[in-house]
Structure 1
Amino acid sequence: METHEQQTQFQNFQVQRPLPNATAVLVLGILGIVLACCYGGGLILSIIALVLYGKDNNLYVASPELYTEASLKNAKAGRVCAIIGLSVSILYIIFIAVLIALVGVAGLSNPEAIRHAFGK
């Protein structure tokens, strides 16, 4: 027969579960790196991953005993990947903007070279 103390301990026992978006954060972070050079695809996925990480981190900070530490580590790894993907995406967009600006300035200064390059 169980004592009152054992019943109370059993009632207080809660099974730890993974954070709800930990896997999604990790996958989106990795895809953010992979798609960094796809004209904003990596940028969007990285931002979504960072937002989901923020929600999961708030859940974990509020009650860490409810969630597994492994899922927190997955979420943190996803955050790192998302930050890398975000950085590379921003650098790529800046590179493309500078490239377009340079080609545009070159075209304005010598329109005949542009016509010759495109065969017209």
Structure 2
Amino acid sequence: MEETNSQFSNFEAQSQKLPNATTVLVLGILSIITCCCYGVLSLLLGGVGLYLAKKDTLNYQQNPQAYTNYDNLKIGKILCIIGIVLGVIYLLYMIWILSVIGLDALQNPQLIEERIREITGQ
């Protein structure tokens, strides 16, 4: 029994957390939350998160037994990718809105209504 406890405590001493796993997770969450900020902030946060995730993935692949929180890193990478995709979709939507309605109409509600009527044919 004593030998088992010493092996377990030895394993705990050797295993450590990946340095950027929590940061990648937070950046992924923020990337999804900020996708409606014209898409740009989401792309930036998701890109930084993926860059940090790549560095930690390389560390993990070199010595998988030394790290304990690889699941957080995988989840963070998935959230960063989702945030980037949502950011791109929203950015494309905003570009489409600006090309259809125009920048001048965004500050004039009556002009927006006129342009929407022209588009819909009413």
TM-score, length-scaled by structure 1: 0.74
The amino acid that maps onto 1:99 is I
Matched positions, count = 99
Structure 1 residue 28 corresponds to structure 2 residue 30: no
Distance 2:59 2:111 in 1: 57
Identity value in percent: 38
- What RMSD, in angstroms, separates the aligned Cα atoms of the two structures? 2.6
The amino acid that maps onto 1:117 is L
Q: Who is 1:63 aligned against?
A: 63
Q: Give secondary structure in 1 for the equivalent of 2:14.
A: coil
Q: Who is 2:100 aligned against?
A: 102
Q: Who is 2:53 aligned against?
A: 53
Q: Shift in Å at residue 103 of structure 1? A: 1.4
The structure that has the greater radius of gyration is: 1
Structure 1 residue 78 corresponds to structure 2 residue 76: yes
Q: Give secondary structure in 2 for the equivalent of 1:19.
A: coil
Q: Give secondary structure in 1 for the equivalent of 2:83.
A: helix
Q: Who is 1:3 aligned against?
A: none
1:63-118 CA-partner distances (Å, limit 9, x unpaired): 112111xx1000000011001100000000000001101113xx7xxxxxx7x638
1:17-54 CA-partner distances (Å, limit 9, x unpaired): 00000000000000000001112111110011111110
Higher helix share: 2
> Which 4+ runs in 1 deviate beyond 3 A?
none
The amino acid that maps onto 1:55 is K
Q: Which runs of 5+ in 2 are unaligned?
A: 1-6, 113-122
Distance 2:48 2:37 in 1: 16
Q: Which runs of 5+ in 1 are unaligned?
A: 1-8, 108-113
TM-score, length-scaled by structure 2: 0.73
